[in-house]
Amino acid sequence: MPASEPIQSGRIYAEVAGPVNTGLAIANGNTQAASISFYFTDSTGNFGNGSTTIPAGGQIATFLNQAPFNGPVSLSGSFTFTSSVPVSTIALRGLTNERGEFLLTTLPVADLARAASSGPLVFPDFADGGGWTTQIVLVNPTDAVETGGVQFRNPSGQPVTVNVSGEANSSFSYSVPARSSRRFQTSGASASVIGGYMRVVPAGGSTAPSGLTIFSFRNGGVTVAEASVPAIAAGTAFRLYAEASGNFAQSAVGSIRTGIAVANTSTSDAAVTLELSKLDGSSTGLVGTLTVPANGQKAIFLNQIQGLGSLQLPFQGVLRVSSADFSEPISVIGLRGRYNERSDFLITTTLPVSENTVLSTAVSMFPQIATSGGYSTQFILFSGRAGQSSSGALTFFTPAGFNWNLATR
C-alpha cells in the first residue's frame, strides 16, 4: 500500500461480484471537514449519486456496497469522487477465496486533475498458466471513449500469444466507455507459465487510460495470492525496499525473497545495474548486473542475479536499479514472495521510486492501516535518492481524527 499525496478528485475501478468486493479508504488530513460527492458508472452511464462528510483529521474505510456509498450488490465499472478539500485515498480489492480466506490487494486511484496522456502504458510483469492468471483493468479518466491496443511481449522481446477472453493472440483491441472501465482476463489454461510484460498503446487521437494488472496464483484449486501491478513510467534509475530471510529455495515457512521485473521497451539491449545498500545507507559491497533484450523483460529474484548470490541473510535494505549508462529507459516493479505456515506461496508487489521524479516536501499519508484481530502493518520509509537523507514524523490518527497512541517496534 503506497503512501498517498492528497487529491481533490479521483476515479477507481469498481467491482462487486460474488467473492469480489472493492473498498475505499479516504483520509482527511485538513483542519476542516471534507465534503465528498460521488457517483458510479457502468456501461450504461452514471448512477448512484451521493455525498458524505469526513471530519477534520478523520477517515472512512468501507466497501462500495456499504454506507455511505450504498452501491449495488453487483457492479463492474468505476467509482468517481470529488472533495471540497484535498484528501488521501487508497482503493482495495478483496477476494474471498475457496477456503473462505480474505485476500487483499491495492488498486490505483486516478487523479482526475492530472493532464491526460497519449503515451503508452507499461506493465512490467504478467503471468499466465501453471496456476497463474492475469486480469487487465483499464479505467477511463476522461469524458470521451478511449481506444487502443494491448500488446504482450515475452522476456526475449518477441510477441507472445496469450488467450484473453476466449481469443488467443499476441495483442487485442480495447474500447473503454467514458468515465467507466473494462476488464480482460487471461485463461490460465497452459500447463507451463507464460510470462513477460504488456504495453497499452492508445489509438491515434485517443488518450491513455489509467490501468493495472492483477495476477492470481491458484494451488490445488485454491487462490492463495493476488497482487496488482500498476503501470510504471519508464525511467533510468529506481529505488525500492528489499528483504530476504529464511530458506526460500526449500519453501521454508516464513521465508521471504525480493524479486524484480524489468521491462525494456527500447529497440536496444539495456544493461542494468543493481546495487544493494543496508538500512543505514551503507553499501553491502554487492553489485549485480542484468542484460534485458530490446523490447524484452527479466523477472528474477535477487539471489539469482549475477553478483548478488552471496548476499548474507537475513537482509533488509534498499535496492537501486539503474540503466547502466542512463541511456535506455526501463520500467521496474518489485516482487515480494513469502511462504506462509501452510507453505502457500504468497506474492505482492512493492512500488519503486523513480530518481527522475521531483521529490515532494508535501505531507504524505497512509489512508488505511490495520492492527490486531489477525492484522499487522509494516511501515517502510526510505530516501528517494542515493546519498540523500530524509527526516520527519510519523503520526497516527483514529477514524474520528483523534491522536492514536499506536505501539510500534
Q: 84-95: per-residue pLDDT in tens? A: 999 999 999 999
As a whole-number percent, the residues of the chain with pLDDT over 70 amount to: 99
Q: Is residue 255 part of a domain?
A: yes
**Which segment of 85-99, 195-209, 353-367 scores lowest on mean pLDDT?**
353-367
Q: Tell me the pTM.
A: 0.93
Report strand pairing: 171-176 vs 75-96.
Answer: unpaired
**Mean pLDDT, range 161-182, rounded to an integer:** 95
First-residue to last-residue Cα distance in the chain: 19
Tell me the mean pLDDT in the region 248-269: 92
Shared-domain flag, residues 154 and 256: no
Query: If you search the block for the grid coordinates 460474488, which residue do you land on?
Result: 18
- Is 223 found in the same domain as 153? yes
225 and 318 inside one domain: no
| pLDDT tens digits, one per residue of 98-157 | 999 999 999 999 999 998 888 999 999 999 999 999 999 999 999 999 999 999 999 999
Domain end call among 230, 259, 280: 230
The cell for 215 is: 495476477
Within-domain flag for 110: no
More confident residue, 394 or 258: 258
d(CA 110, CA 141): 7
| 117's grid cell | 496522456
pLDDT band at 327 (very low <50, low <70, confident <90, very high): low
**pLDDT surpassing 90 at residue 409:** no
Instruction: Decide if 321 is inside a domain.
Output: yes
pLDDT category at 358 given cuts 50, 70, 90 is confident
pLDDT of amino acid 364: 84
Whether residue 241 sits in one domain with residue 226: no
Give the CATH number for residue 160.
2.60.40
Residue type present at position 68: P
Quote the number of domains for the chain: 2
Single out the residue in 300, 332, 351 at which a domain terminates: 351
Q: What is the domain-level CATH number for residue 320?
A: 2.60.290.11
**Residue carrying C-alpha cell 529506481:** 238
Domain annotation covers residue 294: yes
Range of the domain at 152: 121-230
Checking DSSP bridges between strand 283-292 and strand 270-278, what pairing results, if any?
Answer: antiparallel
Which of residues 230, 262, 297 is at a domain's end?
230
Residue 326's pLDDT band (cuts 50, 70, 90):
low
**pLDDT at residue 357 in the model:** 76
Computed on alpha carbons and rounded to an integer, the radius of gyration of the chain in Å comes to: 21
| Cβ count near 394 (within 10 Å) | 9
